[in-house]
Structure 1
């Protein structure tokens, strides 16, 4: 199988998994409408998906650094879909939390191994990794539309229909795994990887990811309800806002990969977070339909650094690619869910506008972290004679080294 085909299948599979991260936030208005949940109770559902995922993703990353687990791709995809499919069937709040947590566990298991495999399949290309990340963003963008279709069909009792993307993603993972197995047998004589980890830089990058996650998940959880309030519109107006928030990520990730090739990952990320500060302020304070413009700018600003943070993390921790991927790719979404109940409780006590206002500070803090970072140098190898061909560089992963064209 050609590398481009593998990346395409991985990207579509990523969409089939991340649709379930977007679905959790998209289901919040339905839970509020059909079960009369408070803001705090509804945000607790987001927390259920995020809390387990936040703990599990670094653990799965550490495991995949030690042992190859490609089978996690189909298994975790199914788990993510089944949990969401069952979440609407029981009116019991505790059971709903359990089912959503199961989905979160599936998502957590998927990201570290899929990012490692995507790095191998792309030969370390930032652009290819941007397309892989874009696949996940497409899944996010489709989530509100899928939930809207479920709502139109009959509400929460139709959530079993949401298992369909998981079945499709599982089917797409299988040929990639077969191709990977053949490639590993062919490359069994490759030299052992070397490289030095830059832990301080990775910690600062992780903090930037955490602040971004709080802003993104906080907005995605409440943007539908907030836009309905601000515009006096129907639930369709809120769904449209959430769709715009997710759809901008499709454009943002691709732009980020292309811009980084010219100006560098760190510089592009700095500018993106600076723009996002202004954009979120517009979402919170600008009245009327103009809110959709600022939602789109916020989406692009938050997503331009998305794939860049993944490859930066992998380069800062070249000997622990799975761990780096689990944190920078997975926790980008899940850790923000830990702050959602706080936002919900504040909204119950004051107003949604007041509760969302602190989110303006989050991209500013991410920008502050990026001000301390630099693009890492290409990893070195203890066998330079193996990579002396002109126009090539070594991309060191957790299990091997890959030769790719120099940027």
Structure 2
């Protein structure tokens, strides 16, 4: 929606960066809190409620000309995102029994949504203006309805009972800290590109808003491919090794996005997206295996706190773009995949637990329901 706020309301780079910041601040602070809560109590009802809340914030964002209200509505959407991720990652881990490939498909669902979003916004807002943003609540309504069978399945599993989970293995807090730093660096480059790649492509292609929409679509579509690819590759070579190579490739890909002129930008956008998303679901399961007694907390940090750091950096990128140029502001992002690569060189590959019966997702036990070994 950023290009349309720029076009319709003449917002500057720093101003639209505030929108990204508003979505990120509450999400980054609140998401680990939800993770701690889901470690203590299973709350599957959060899935439909948080989906609807996230969509409602976006739907209301264009109805008022007030910038303060815009930030409020975007922040509400961020709270919905914060509430959704830890519980959804916990439930997905139970359903997948810890499979890297299955978690890759779980991540792909969100990435497909990201890819479709620019096209949907372009069709609704591009043709009729920001006043029609309430229509953007429809995907959230659909998502909430799709969550209902999940709630029924979890209820049936609770009623049927399940085998007790094995005690969790010891937490590796040092490795989890390094992983979180790598996720934060990845977030800086991805959030920076997602916030500004549309405007950047529009500039590079003769002020074509279509070019900007296509660039954003490619960025998110590559993420869908990368998530599935990461899960498949990890089954053969291991999560840490696959993530390390993906970040190494991303260094050159991001440099191509920033410096290669003309339509050649698009292949580099696709390669960047795939390179940054190959490790995405792998980082979630790595975090859960490094903190097997606190799966919800680990998910809240790797999917929330660390990821949202990128949104906090966006205003800095916007201010630099206003002062110098957008290319100058995006150039430092090349360093972020390099830092991810260095951090992953220091990470061990956790031992893969044996597959077993997944525990009861509704138990109010702080360790057993979230044990890495019990869920595999």
Q: Which residue of 1 aligns with 2:259?
A: 285
Task: Give unpaired runs (5+ residues) of structure 2.
Answer: 360-366
> Cα RMSD between the aligned structures?
1.8
Highest relative contact order (Cα 8 Å, sep 6+), 1 or 2?
2
SS at match of 1:339: helix
1:324 equivalent among 291, 298, 304: 298
Give the deviation of 1:394 after TM superposition. Answer: 7.8
Query: How high is the TM-score relative to the length of structure 2?
Result: 0.94
Contact 2:179 2:343 in 1 (8 A): yes
Deviations, residues 334-389 of structure 1 (Å, cap 9, x unaligned): 2210000000000000000000000000011111110100111135xxxxxxxxxx
Which residue number in structure 1 is paired with residue 42 of structure 2? Answer: 68
Partner of 2:123: 149
**2:182 pairs with 1:212:** no
User: Aligned residue for 1:125?
Assistant: 99
- Superimposed CA distance per residue, residues 204-248 of structure 1 (whole angstroms, 9 cap, x where no aligned partner): 000000000000000010001111111214100011001000000
2:226 matches 1:252: yes
Runs in 1 of length 4+ with deviation above 4 angstroms? 391-398, 400-406
Contact 1:74 1:170 in 2 (8 A): yes
| Deviation digits for residues 183-221 of structure 1 (CA, Å, limit 9, x no counterpart) | 123235524632211000000000000000000000010
The equivalences for 1:29-40 within 5 A come to: 29-40=3-14
Task: Measure, in 2, the Cα distance between the counterparts of 1:333 and 1:201.
Answer: 17
Give the 5 Å matches for 1:252-401: 252-331=226-305, 333-378=307-352, 392=355, 399=369
Query: Do residues 47 (structure 1) and 21 (structure 2) align?
Result: yes
Q: Is the 8 A contact 1:318 1:398 kept in 2?
A: no
TM-score by length of 1: 0.87
Aligned 8 A contact 2:96 2:102 in 1:
yes
CA deviation profile, 1:248-304 (whole Å, cap 9, x unmatched):
011100100000000000000000000000000000011111011110110000000
Match of 2:362 in 1: none
Give the number of aligned pairs: 369
Shift of 1:392: 4.2
Cα pair 2:165 2:374 within 8 Å, conserved: no
Query: What's 2:59 paired with?
Result: 85
**Structure 1: segments with no counterpart, 5+ residues:** 1-26, 380-390
Q: Contact (CA 8 Å) 1:123, 1:402: kept in 2 or not? A: no
